[in-house]
Structure 1
């Protein structure tokens, strides 16, 4: 379907005026363009598990500075650390723990490190789309966004022989054309939005799309706690073990409610020695609980979609 058919175009082209001057049709149209639909948490997880744990890693590596046209060796080396040191450490920890994970990898990062991309799928992990060069998709036109997402999809497929079914937008956001692009390209799930703690179906102007959302949140992301900008105001402000406590609390709450604990990490961030310690400790904490189902994001999306309850409103049925 076209962008217009999916209802993801701007509800009012006259929004250059201050928002307090918008008529209700304008502000309501923006809010309803992409919305959380029916919850998709099943009554029971596979094997009778009590909680689902979905770990994800974004191997952005050199694409962050490259996206911004920054090509100095110092900045590129920070990303190279993720490929050279962080990713092997992460893979080793996952292998020793017997835990599958999902790796959302920009296509340029995969082209720079093809053996790494293949290692993810070889070791039984999921490789998913994370843009072309970690572009800010909300700044792109519809045609450019679709071309880059499609090119990234084909690149990961060609490198690994496994076609991705999921995507995480590089900006953790949707443009006016993102939803239509994802539906046109046949993605089964997205993991970029934050409307819930648990998976849900995405609505386009109130209409079910069939696209599963596996929500993220900055609370469950390592970058806000640990990133560093040499010339800007961004400075690490958290002790690694303080962050471990936050994530453990997030898991414990998901365990009590029978929900999903989803975590987003970056090899160039979490892969440093003092930080990998807390990831190891977190996995030990999770592993001490009975009834934990470790799932890739694709596994989770398939499970919640298959077990989705019938909505009370029949018009919500895709």
Structure 2
């Protein structure tokens, strides 16, 4: 006996398509009335210290691709830390636990330099393909590992897939995490809703426009190429910052040490930070500091 065919999307009734959309939704905006110190704009720089983990996740164990990831830890991270120190720019590092274990002392160096360490999976797993128990076990293990190595328990997460499974938000709430930075429903912070109900979890939204990987990644066996010149990316990011400042909002940026850490690309980040720092009304902050401020400003009780 054959099983009945599942309805196609155009055959769904309203409760079905509406239920998919409403499962995880943007709630009230948490854009604050002002930023600390009279700042006009908040700048939240973040770095996903993936290093070798995406390669390992895919079962690729030859040294070529692994060495690309190693570059991020060996060269990219020191360059980034020196640059952030120059601009006194506290930032957030989202770190897969396996990356932290592979590179002894790295996550502690983030904390010691005034930065935040946050969750980014165990081995950069595709969390949307996992069953609930596996996703929970890996997330808990990652949180425990980062706490042990950094000396501070993470309060935020960026999922490795930049997406939620049906279980992700439930796991985030079980762990008592204060924020997520994986979704894209706004430019400004907002509260996550689950089936229409407020969750108390703050979303600091990302966007592929404000991520170095789509512009600079390369794969020799596919059509993936860095088609955009580095200073073309600088122009995009500078425009994103300028309008965020004009609107009195948040400028959030995602980068990867093994991507942005190369010479021609760290030059772009340096020019961007020069442009940002030329304004006297900028607040550089970690993601956790942004969350603290928007809640204190009158956000979620």
**CA 107–259 in structure 1, closer or farther in 2 if over 3 Å, else same:** same
The yes-or-no answer on 1:208 pairing with 2:207 is no
- Given the alignment, which residue of 146, 163, 176 partners 1:156? 146
Name the SS for the 1:89 alignment partner.
helix
Distance (whole Å) between structure 1 residues aligned to residue 136 and residue 64 of structure 2: 32
Aligned to 1:101: 91
Aligned to 2:137: 147
Aligned to 1:199: 189
Aligned to 1:4: none
Aligned to 2:260: 270
Deviations 1:255-287 (A, max 9, x none): 000000000000000000000001000000000
The yes-or-no answer on 1:299 pairing with 2:274 is no
Aligned to 2:22: 32
Aligned to 2:46: 56
Name the SS for the 1:224 alignment partner.
helix
Aligned to 1:115: 105
- Given the alignment, which residue of 204, 208, 211 partners 1:218? 208
The yes-or-no answer on 1:17 pairing with 2:17 is no
Aligned length: 298
Name the SS for the 1:232 alignment partner.
coil
Distance (whole Å) between structure 1 residues aligned to residue 26 and residue 117 of structure 2: 25
Distance (whole Å) between structure 1 residues aligned to residue 166 and residue 72 of structure 2: 32
Runs of 4+ aligned structure 1 residues displaced above 6 Å come to: none
Aligned to 2:73: 83
Deviations 1:235-270 (A, max 9, x none): 110100010000000000000000000000000000
Aligned to 1:289: 279
Name the SS for the 2:218 alignment partner.
coil
Distance (whole Å) between structure 2 residues aligned to residue 163 and residue 245 of structure 1: 36
When normalised by structure 1's length, the TM-score is 0.92
Aligned to 1:66: 56
The answer to whether the 8 A contact 1:190-1:214 is kept is: yes
The answer to whether the 8 A contact 1:15-1:22 is kept is: no
Distance (whole Å) between structure 1 residues aligned to residue 285 and residue 86 of structure 2: 16
Displacement after TM superposition at 1:303 (Å): 0.7
RMSD of aligned Cα (Å): 1.2
When normalised by structure 2's length, the TM-score is 0.97
Distance (whole Å) between structure 2 residues aligned to residue 96 and residue 196 of structure 1: 30
Distance (whole Å) between structure 1 residues aligned to residue 261 and residue 215 of structure 2: 14
Displacement after TM superposition at 1:15 (Å): 9.4
Distance (whole Å) between structure 2 residues aligned to residue 15 and residue 300 of structure 1: 47
Unaligned runs of 5+ in 2: none
Distance (whole Å) between structure 2 residues aligned to residue 62 and residue 16 of structure 1: 39
Aligned to 1:173: 163
Unaligned runs of 5+ in 1: 1-13, 310-316
Distance (whole Å) between structure 1 residues aligned to residue 37 and residue 99 of structure 2: 36
**CA 112–57 in structure 1, closer or farther in 2 if over 3 Å, else same:** same
Distance (whole Å) between structure 2 residues aligned to residue 218 and residue 290 of structure 1: 28
Distance (whole Å) between structure 1 residues aligned to residue 134 and residue 142 of structure 2: 12
Aligned to 2:223: 233
**CA 181–15 in structure 1, closer or farther in 2 if over 3 Å, else same:** farther
Name the SS for the 2:105 alignment partner.
helix
